[in-house]
Chain A
Amino acid sequence: MVSSGGRLFEGADWDFHTLQRIHDACQEIAHSELGLDVYPNQIEVITAEQMLDAYSSVGMPLFYKHWSFGKQFAFQEASYRKGLMGLAYEIVINSSPCISYLMEENTATMQTLVIAHAAFGHNHFFKNNYLFKQWTDADGILDYLEFAKGYIAACEDRHGRETVERTLDAAHALMSHGIDRYPGKKTLDLRAEEKRAGERRQHEESVFNDLWRTVPNTKAKSKSAMTAERRRALLGLPQENILYFLEKTAPRLHPWQREIIRIVRHIAQYFYPQSQTKVMNEGTATYVHYRIMNRLHKQDRISDGNFLEFLQSHTNVVFQPDFDDRRWSGFNPYALGFAMMQDIERIVTSPEDEDREWFPDIAGKGDVEGVLREIWSNYRDESFIGQFLSPALIRRFRMFHLHDDPAESAGIKVDAIHDERGYRRVRRELSRQYDVGFVDANIEVIDVDLAGDRRLMLRHTTVKDAQLNETDARRVLQHLADLWTYDVVLTEVDASDKVLKEYAVSPRAAAVAA
């Protein structure tokens, strides 16, 4: 009754030709209908075990070796085997070409969903979002990882596994504070970076001359000449990128240690945009696959049965449990992102009076794809929610805002709900939940006396009285002191500069000797 001439596939089976046909069909829709601009695609078919492997190296196809990835692997393997955890259908890598991993046991419908989701949705987002453009280098990342892997392996051969592991442990502990949050003069070019590292090493080797060690040291310059102000300016203080500061300033690090810190820092920076765009990234990809799948179904290129199969997994993906549900574990970025994209589509095509009042710029504009592309390019989660979460959506999710002040004995206050008085407050608070400035502790290097006792001073400016967990803070500071090789002091202060707590940590003997 239905001609299967246009069908991409029948049933659940697929082969590589099917994948190619699916990709081409998706591409056709992505280009002509959605106007997406993507990196070339590379689709890799992998097994469940390889998916587990990829999980434990933060999803990257190649990565340097470290025990912590093994720990993660052991943990994930255990919960996967017990059936506690399902595997993702796909992993996609922000690189050019854009690599998507597809699991071999996916059905043909799932492969279509995944290709539309990852190879077009995520891919477009990676290529066009301003954060990714600013902070990541899709062309160079795979080469850089290759370099990092080789470099660290070479270091292990030269300096011993344990020594290198200690440096990596320390750098990992500080990874979340190895990020430049604001664009500076440097743009990241990982290929040049890799080349420079090689050149640096070569230069060192070529100019090494043992004679220099025999030359007596020149007298130190007079200490008083340098004022505290000038010293801080020279060191670029205050500095929130602790790893960068260590790499450039730590007095006793070996060159290879600085390079390792640099590698960890670059990788942290590469992932920085992803942590800031979870809702948008997944929202975009989910919206794109939803549009493409619907179009394919309308064109009769996938059967009703397969479309129902798609709808079922789609519904699971965008399911948002309520806060009092046992399955509640925070907002589901797929659900929130997808709902917002659809809501924007509604506002652009058939707005109501309320929407015209809240979104005069886009309400009734008509060009859904244009508006969305514009948003996908120029926002991150915080600003996206801050501007585009509509009252209609707040009502639909029945969002409410709780304020929990430990000093208040009466309990937790319901500060705002989905009503006229509450919309803006709910929206502001939700947007703040996605602001990295609020999520990560604000810790800065404020001073160091390089001429004196070389003590490194850090300051944690608390927000809303949240202090650091003491056990973890001490451990991280221990790592920091081991890299710095002199004492480290961290002061926690509140907004009015009142000191709340002070940590002082000395380096371990082994670290100093190294």
Chain B
Amino acid sequence: MVMHIVDRRLNPGSKSLENRQRFLRRAKALVQGAVKKSSQDRDIKDVLEGGEVTIPLDGMDEPRFRREGGTRDMVLPGNKKFVEGDWLPRPNQSGGKGSSAGEGDSEDAFRFVLSRDEFVDLFLDDLELPDLAKRKLAETESEGIQRAGYSTSGSPANISISRTVSRALARRVALRRPRKDEIEALEAELAECDDATRRQELLALLEALKAKVKRIPFIDPIDIRYRRFETVPKPVAQAVMFCLMDVSGSMSEHMKDLAKRFYMLLYVFLKRRYKHVEIVFIRHTDRAEEVDEDTFFHGPASGGTLVSSALVAMNEIVRTRFRPADWNIYAAQASDGDNMTSDSALTGQLLTDKILPVCQFFAYLEVGEAANYTFDMPDSSLWTLYERLRNEGAPLSMRKVSERGEIFPVFQDLFKRRSKQERVA
């Protein structure tokens, strides 16, 4: 009898992937709830690593006819001391029935592990870039180069040797150019030939062949082919994210922490959309500078507050390094809202004329102390300014946040899928 051995190890794995996706789709609402809940009490970074979630089994059950109760008979192994006719006390109802109680627990809740991608997808599922950004996204395209067949003209660097040689060969065959060995064979015959008439014939033949070889070149200019390239429009697949933050003395650690969380969410969100995301950190007091991440969040700084300085710096960086045609530009500004009153006019002008036209999205996050008192206070100078700009029609998104727990709802609120008419507030 023949036995076959098949090595299946190299077969594509995850045959169950499709089933798993079906299951997740079906349990989507439940899983999403679980994901949100677990993300509230943990660090964003950890949360987005994926992990185990628990969902209730309701709606995911597969019912069967099951029987319960009644008179039960069972045969068990391992009798140690019982004799026929003994009476055993029933295990008490609450804690007893070891095995069935265990089953009951696992019936109520269902735990399983989500991969990082699944987790992030569900985490950000109902979020979307605002309409404004989508419109821009379609426009911003750059040009790329792509091979597009062959042409008869071009630069010498682009000669396609293989194509040229094969065309030359085809031409030589078609025109019956005599081959080298053909001529050599005739010459050999001529050298050995004694018959005069035959020699004459051979000489004439050779003459004709050699003339033909001269007429038909080995490679002719018409054989030459060049590789052709075409420019094609390519959608931009990269984004830059500007983090602007006021680091003057009035910003506490708590406020910076809030801002950091918001930046992180934005980063994860953009990362999902774009292949390549760069981050630029600009901090400012009364003057702005570009810094690395660590300095941005932890470096000491002091001074007054001039928001315009940060906008000038950002504009400069955009001009020199991030051509708006090549980059999708996102900006998020965090501040406690203080700004020199004299700076307002300049800030407003910079924003409307320089910054907003090149940005896909500009978000302003006003962070406050945990005590929540900012909301009882009159609106800050920056908030007043931005609100005025927004009412004049500038595409700004702004929110106030004072507690960690509010970050995600605010973020979600900013990017929520919404109908066309509704503008980002």
Contacts and interface: CB of A to CB of B under 8 A. Distances in A.
A465 B69 contact: yes
A467 B13 CA distance: 44
B65 interface: yes
B84 interface: yes
A162 B82 CA distance: 56
Contact of A50 (B13, B68, B71, B77): B13
A412 B90 contact: yes
Contacts of A331: 77
B81 to A, nearest CB: 10
Contacts of B67: 441, 462, 466-469
B110 interface: yes
Interface of A: 16, 19-20, 23-24, 27, 38, 40-47, 49-50, 52-53, 56-57, 65-71, 73-75, 77-78, 81, 97, 101, 104, 119, 165, 169, 172-173, 175-177, 320-325, 329, 331, 397-406, 410-419, 421-422, 426, 429-430, 432-433, 440-441, 443, 460, 462-469, 471-473, 475-476, 479
Contact of A472 (B5, B22, B65, B88): B65
Contacts of B162: none
A321 B20 CA distance: 35
Nearest to B66: A469
A475 B61 contact: yes
A75 B11 contact: no
B111 to A, nearest CB: 6
A429 B14 CA distance: 44
Interface in B1-57: 1-9, 11, 13-16, 18-27, 52
A323 B84 contact: no
A77 B113 contact: yes
Nearest to B15: A53
Contacts of A52: 16
A466 B61 contact: no
Contact of A173 (B9, B64, B78): B64
B79 interface: yes
B65 A441 contact: yes
Contacts of B3: 20, 23-24, 27, 40-43, 119
Nearest to B68: A469
Contacts of B148: none
A399 B82 contact: no
Nearest to B23: A70
Given A42-B5, A466-B70, 12 more contacts: A16-B5, A43-B4, A44-B5, A399-B79, A400-B75, A402-B74, A404-B90, A412-B90, A415-B84, A464-B73, A473-B65, A479-B63
Contacts of A415: 73, 84
B376 interface: no
B76 interface: yes
B71 A67 contact: no
Interface residues of B, number: 60
Interface string B279-307: 00000000000000000000000000000
A405 B90 CA distance: 11
A41 B61 CA distance: 38
Nearest to A396: B77
Nearest to B1: A40
A341 to B, nearest CB: 17
A405 B87 CA distance: 12
A134 B85 CA distance: 43
17 contacts: A24-B3, A41-B1, A44-B5, A66-B22, A70-B21, A74-B23, A173-B64, A176-B64, A322-B80, A323-B76, A323-B77, A411-B88, A414-B87, A460-B65, A464-B70, A464-B71, A465-B71
Nearest to A330: B99
Q: Which 6 A-B pairs have the closest CB atoms?
A: A322-B78, A70-B23, A466-B70, A70-B19, A475-B63, A465-B70
B26 A81 contact: no
B392 interface: no
B267 to A, nearest CB: 29
B63 A397 contact: no
Contacts of A417: 79, 82-84
B70 A414 contact: no
Nearest to B75: A430
Interface of B: 1-9, 11, 13-16, 18-27, 52, 60-80, 82-90, 99, 110-113
A253 to B, nearest CB: 20
Contacts of A46: 8-9
Contacts of B16: 52-53, 56-57, 69-70, 73
Contact of A41 (B4, B62, B70): B4
Nearest to A418: B79
A74 B76 CA distance: 33
A357 B61 CA distance: 52
B90 A400 contact: no
A412 B89 CA distance: 6
A465 B68 CA distance: 9
Contacts of A440: 65
Contacts of A42: 3-6
A45 B9 contact: yes
B111 A78 contact: yes
Nearest to A39: B1
Contacts of A57: 15-16, 19
Contacts of B6: 42-45
A412 B18 CA distance: 49
Contacts of A413: 85-88
Contacts of B113: 74, 77-78, 81
B315 to A, nearest CB: 50
B21 A467 contact: no
Given A56-B16, A69-B19, A405 B66 contact: no
Contacts of B74: 401-402, 404, 429, 433
Nearest to A427: B75
A403 B73 contact: yes
Nearest to B74: A402
Contacts of A97: 4
B72 A421 contact: no
B73 A401 contact: yes
Contacts of B66: 441, 468-469, 472-473
A414 B85 contact: yes
A65 B22 CA distance: 8
A462 B67 CA distance: 9
A467 B19 contact: no
Nearest to A440: B65
A261 to B, nearest CB: 16
B19 A414 contact: no
Contacts of A441: 65-67
A53 B13 contact: yes
A92 to B, nearest CB: 14
A400 B9 contact: no
A20 B110 CA distance: 43
A350 to B, nearest CB: 24
A476 B63 CA distance: 6
A468 B82 contact: no
Nearest to B111: A78
A110 to B, nearest CB: 16
Contact of A68 (B52, B62, B80): B62
B62 A172 contact: yes
A411 B87 contact: yes
A49 B13 contact: yes
